[in-house]
Amino acid sequence: MDKKVRVRFAPSPTGGLHLGGVRTALFNYLFAKRNNGTFVLRVEDTDQNRFVEGAEQYIVNCLDWCGITPDESPNNPGAYGPYRQSERKASYRKFAEQLISDGYAYYAFDTPEELDAKRKEIPNFQYGQATRMQMRNSLTLTVSEVEELLATQTPHVIRIKVPADEIVHFNDLIRGDVSFETSLVDDKVLLKADGMPTYHLAVVVDDKAMEISHAFRGEEWLPSAPVHILLWKYLGWEAEMPAWAHLPLILKPDGHGKLSKRDGDRLGFPVYAMNWTDPKTGDITKGFKEMGFMPEAFINMLALLGWNDGTDQELFSLKELEEKFSIERISKAGAKFDFEKAKWYNHEWIKHSSFDRLHLAVKAELEKAGIEVKDQVFLGTIIDLIKDRCTLLPDFVAQSSYFFNSPAEYDINSVKPKWTAEKADFFNAFADSLTLTDAGTAEAAFKALAEEKGFKPGELMLPFRIMLVGGKFGPGVFDIAVLLGIAETKARIAKAIAVFNN
């Protein structure tokens, strides 16, 4: 590539981080890594009405959990700061005023009441070429009137003056040539009455100042592209404009429309990377992390929502994604979110992860459930034995709690109908002669005694499992018995017999 790659993820600190936002950050990160570039986090906090305390740190925490930590950010500034738009406020008015001087923008003094009246008067009102000369702005007022309004600090905004009957086109790295008719584009506000820029002005000024080479963002921003292209041109920076890539939407599971938080609430899955607590209400919106997803699985799942490497491979580490990612393999079409597939990724990552990768997370889940883990070797054996059965990290609790505590309850209904005194005698005899050298030896002894007592081993295996674990689940029952040891296995057999006999 001719110029140095610098990309940015530029979220607004207004609440939880949607998985679509994380995917945008991920694609920025992967493109930067693939091209020896720089991944920048820029906080777009110019909308003070929507600013939420704590949201910026939450975004940082989400990126850290995912393993896609920015090279430059408010917390790790480089040579292109500040990295919060609110701290760059002074720079924006200068460029807005320059646009006015050059005839590309104008002051608009319309009050909210005047704008509301115009919306009632004109259906689907847009402030633009067809209406701007009916409004109260520096195009319709005299120079002296404008100067007086400015001198008296009359509230006003600055709007771009979109030209009539032009075609604005640009090359999108995903969609190819994209064009817009300016007659369909309204005069967007560039600078608000509080002196803060809107996204339209800020994104252009900041991308120029930070020397951004490529701009990845969701396709919902496509309608704004002509305004941004015009601003790059009007400010004299067209030659330095970043290459654009508008990412496909992440769609609802049925494919109809963009995935939203409401869809997650309705269908019972998270759409945020991590738990988000609303500072005003205290309401918690659940995230993938707290539901029990591994970051490796979350990132793997997100990468394949709209991208593939051209093969049938589905499991990718972050390192592999860094090596294989390319814009050419990003789809134009929206990608349907499938929560069952997301869980499949997590199950696969749990299965393929080592004890070193899993043990702290599993230990934390067990301790949350009130289970104290002292023996790390014992925990490691358990993890290797049950991880194939776990889809989410909390599943380790249900799948392993019986290794630490004798069952408090039993699936009685699965045993009682066929429970007999003869079966009780069998288990008492088995306990008396119990040896647990290894699972194979224990199983052979169990089957030999069953034959001697006139039972088919199959009709005794389920009661034995329920004695040890409380239900019809878990790995091989003799593997469980070996791990529990002779004394604990005997104690559980005796305790269960007493319950089954009642």
Catalytic machinery residues: 261
DSSP string, 226-272: HHHHHHHHHTT-GGGPPEEEEEPPEEPTTSSSB--HHHHHHHT---B
What whole-number distance in Å separates Cα of residue 139 and Cα of residue 312? 59
Both tokens of residue 411?
């699936």
Long-range contacts of the stretch 454-462 (C-beta < 8 A, 24+): 455/422, 455/423, 455/426, 459/418, 460/423, 460/426, 460/427, 462/414, 462/415
Q: Which residues pair with 108 in a beta bridge?
A: 137, 157
Closest CA to 204 of 244, 161, 261, 255: 244
What whole-number distance in Å separates Cα of residue 33 and Cα of residue 20? 20
CA atoms within 13 A on the CB side of 471: 9
Closest CA to 3 of 326, 328, 242, 238: 242
Closest CA to 172 of 298, 328, 337: 328
Amino acid symbol at 298: F
Q: How far is CA 46 from CA 51, 270, 287, 399, 468, in A?
A: 8, 28, 26, 48, 60
What whole-number distance in Å separates Cα of residue 164 and Cα of residue 184? 9
What whole-number distance in Å separates Cα of residue 46 and Cα of residue 50? 9
Which residues touch 5 (CB under 8 Å, ≥6 apart)?
Answer: 31, 32, 35, 36, 37, 38, 213, 214
CB 316 within 8 A of CB 303: yes
CB 419 within 8 A of CB 390: no
Q: CA torsion 421→426→432→435, rounded to 10°?
A: -150
For tokens 């404008």, what's the residue? 146
Both tokens of residue 58?
């939450």
Does the annotation place 261 within a ligand binding site? yes
What whole-number distance in Å separates Cα of residue 366 and Cα of residue 380? 13
Expressed in percent and rounded to 5, the helix, strand and coil fractions of the chain are 50, 10, 40
Amino acid symbol at 318: L
- The DSSP call for residue 171 is E
